[in-house]
Structure 1
Amino acid sequence: MPSTACLSGSLAGSRNRLVQVTSGLERLLAGAGSHLKPLSLGLIIHPASVTREFQLSVDALLQEGFSIKALFGPQHGARGEKQDNMIESGHYADPYTGLPVHSLYSNVRKPTPEMLSGLDAIVFDLQDVGVRVYTFIWTMLLAMEACAEIGIRFIVLDRPNPIGGIQREGAVLRKDFESFVGLHPIPLRHGLTCGELATWMNETRGIGCDLEIIECRGWRRSMGWSDTGLPGWHLAPTYRRQSRVLCIQVWCSWRGRTSQKGEGPRSPLSISVHLI
């Protein structure tokens, strides 16, 4: 596996001082992606695709003059409109920008040639949780394959792995168990950022995608989310804290068994009820 796709940064001052990690989105807005401005772009986003000021990436990029032509929504939707787990969403027009929103958690999981028609590149800006069974990295993989098939670029705006980049835990997925909660042989807790995963899978899976990573700056593999200085994220109702994300690797392994993981607004993923 690759070492890092996020640029290393050093701690300034005391160990307890909060480090300012700069996301790929913020680096793009600061000039790292000026070469993309002439291109017609599709954008894969969700509610955590925000700047430090909580501005959604589509709004920030349009404001800076990028030519966004279409949005793509993963599980839970582009703007979080489908927060219930495993509820598919349809395609629609974004009420704020008027852009078409193609759902990649609908009757299709992979962008179709029709969805990609007229686009020069797809920009991926999703905050992952660092666990194989969360579907965002597989949305990324399928979108990379779709871009490779029609010859357009795929750009990852990288973000930190919220549970760190040192520990790797759990069994490596067997090929005969591949599904939308695991499409490539990685451990349950993989320790990589989306940019690192994209680079590695592009090579080891032989995708051949024209891949570009806008790296995040200042992230260190030993960091948890609270060390990054980045704002809290809202991936789904159950994953608003780092501790909840650590719990997901346990509970998603138990899905389909006769246990209830306490999914709800008060103490999601932190209680267990065995159903008899």
Structure 2
Amino acid sequence: MISNSVLKNTVLFLVLSIVSCGNSIKGREAGSKNQEENPLITAEIKTGADNYTAYLPLLKNKKAGIVTNQTGILSDKTHLVDFLLGKKIDIQKIYAPEHGFRGTADAGELIKDGKDTKTGLPIISLYGNNKKPKPEQLAGIDIMIFDLQDVGARFYTYISSLHYVMEACAENNIQLIVLDRPNPNGSIIDGPILEKEHTSFVGMHPIPVLHGMTIGEYAKMINGEKWLKNGVQCKLTVIPCLNYNRNMTYSLPVKPSPNLPNDQAINLYASLCLFEGTNISMGRGTDKQFQLYGSPFLPKSDFSFVPGPNLGAKDPTHNGKTCYGEDLSKIEKVKQLELKWLIKAYQTTSDKSKFFNDFFTKLAGTKKLQQQIETGISEKEIRKSWEKGIADFKTMRKAYLIYGE
């Protein structure tokens, strides 16, 4: 028979468990045995931005700069810049990455400096010819805040912007605070390792295409591996997410960039982005960006689409031409870097001589992948050639993980 004291303690525990569940952006651990047995123990994910009690004291009486865009929001959809101004934080400047502060520019489009119409704050572009903040652009800044939503792919340029911001902060003795956010592809580590001779803004570090780290963990790796110029290290503070591990599913509250409109596109992004280095369209200029692929050079089929100018793609590949290929918008979530569509497209195109372009090697981070596909090596053998690089990377990354392996 249960005593009254035990019964009271049990009821109190249940009440506290319910109250402890957060009210921020939703994220559930896929297949969690503990969650199935006791759903009350799984709280909701809080991003670094929502973990504001950890960073507001660091900003007090400081002149702050902030690197962010439309993804820098709290759980109630308040933009971080507006939130910080409301807390009387002295924000001096906004630094905007590829696609701009409001996130509406095309991929690769030149972003100009300007002024935010809502707050009147100056905006410094960190894209085009000014990827790294200059000393004069950092004048008067005591502390820098970095809050961008990454998607876990090496060629997604927000981690390249992170590199240059860290380098500039190190060289100018400015503390950097990274507000962490979940990686929607956080459980996937896959692809060839970037080779040093193919370093570019779409691939700056010797990591696989899908790295399985949050942007906060990645910042720790950049610092720890001394990848910054001359091996400098910045004074780095990562504000972690709460109630998160990398095996959780996570749906982004806003588009991280114009051509990643939903969870499906974000999941397929790394696999289909390799088509950027070919004559195949991956849906820019449609309403299913990174959820389909095709070209006028592939065999005619029941499925076709015609790319046209739209937000984020003013002049898409094969603009106005009928493209044949596959619609991937309804397929199951992928759990690896998929090569089957790339291989199939190459094998069936009517114009193999113009299939690949120079950008492909930058995206792949190696010349080997193109050579392997052109010589007809099987996908199984291609994947086998990645194994050692991925194993070495996993060993290296262990030192920088915050949310388990």
Retained in 2: the 8 A contact 1:41–1:121? yes
Of residues 113, 124, 130, the one that matches 1:102 is 124
User: What is aligned with 1:257?
Assistant: 278
Matches of 1:241 and 1:35, distance apart in 2: 34
Where does residue 3 of structure 1 map in the other structure? none
Q: Distance between the aligned counterparts of 2:107 and 2:250, measured in 1?
A: 23
The aligned length equals 261
Work out whether 1:177 is the aligned partner of 2:201. no
State whether structure 2 residue 182 is matched by structure 1 residue 160.
yes
2:184–2:267 Cα contact (<8 Å) kept: no
Alignment of 1:1-276 (within 5 A): 14=36, 19-28=43-52, 30-82=53-105, 84-164=106-186, 166-204=187-225, 205=227, 206-226=231-251, 232-276=253-297
Report SS of the residue matched to 2:123: strand
Distance 1:275 1:132 in 2: 29
Note the C-alpha offset of 1:274. Answer: 2.7
Q: Which runs of 5+ in 2 are unaligned?
A: 1-27, 298-405
Aligned partners of 1:242, 1:187: CA distance in 2, in Å? 21
Structure (1 or 2) with the greater helix fraction: 2
* TM-score of the aligned structures, taking structure 1 as reference length: 0.89
Letter of the structure 1 residue corresponding to residue 44 of structure 2: Q
Question: Structure 1's 31 and 186: CA in aligned 2 closer, same or farther, altered over 3 A?
Answer: closer
Conserved? CA contact 1:237–1:264, under 8 Å: no
8 A Cα contact 2:103 2:258, kept in partner:
no
* Matched position secondary structure for 1:224: strand
Percentage of pairs with the same residue: 34
Instruction: Report how far residue 31 of structure 1 moved.
Output: 4.8
Paired AA for residue 210 in structure 1: K
Root-mean-square deviation (CA, aligned residues, Å) is 2.0
4+ residue runs over 3 A deviation: 9-19
Say if 1:267 and 1:19 are closer, same or farther in 2 by CA, change over 3 A: farther
Q: Higher RCO, 1 or 2 (CA under 8 Å, sep at least 6)? A: 1
Structure 2 CA distance for aligned equivalents of residues 156 and 275 of structure 1: 44
- Amino acid aligned to 2:247: S
Distance 1:56 1:247 in 2: 27
Measured in 2, the distance between the counterparts of 1:152 and 1:237 equals 31
Over alpha carbons, which structure has the higher Rg?
2
Please list every run of 5 or more consecutive structure 1 residues that lacks an aligned counterpart in the other structure. Answer: 1-8
Further displaced range: 260-269 or 10-19: 10-19
**Deviation of residue 13 (structure 1)?**
5.0
